[in-house]
Amino acid sequence: MHVFRLYEWAGKSGDVQRKVPAGAKKVQLDNLMEQSEGSALSLKDGNIVIVPVHPYEIVTVQVDRKSEICDL
């Protein structure tokens, strides 16, 4: 699991495109306590997420990856 935060400092709403690690299976918005908040965000081209932001907002995004452990 990876968590990243964005801060919108220009006072404008918009969408931010952010590249996420390869193999991401789920991307969602979290609150500052890293608890799920809202629905999952969609991935574009498998590794780009579009995150909506509002003026002066701090956005927390959680990225869950596919398991890297192989069964033998």
Q: Name the DSSP class of 15.
A: E
What tens digit of pLDDT does each residue of 14-58 get?
Answer: 999 999 888 888 899 998 898 888 778 988 888 899 999 999 999
Q: Report how many domains make up the chain.
A: 1
Give the mean model confidence (pLDDT) for residues 68-72.
50
Phi, then psi, of 40 in degrees rounded to 5: -70, 150
Is 71 part of a structural domain of the chain?
Answer: no
Is 70 part of a structural domain of the chain?
Answer: no
pTM of the model: 0.79
Is 43 part of a structural domain of the chain?
Answer: yes
Is 47 part of a structural domain of the chain?
Answer: yes
Is 24 part of a structural domain of the chain?
Answer: yes
- Domain holding 41, by residue range, is 2-65
Rounded Cα gap, residues 60 and 66, in angstroms: 20
Name the percent of the chain in helix, strand, coil, to the closest 5: 0, 55, 45
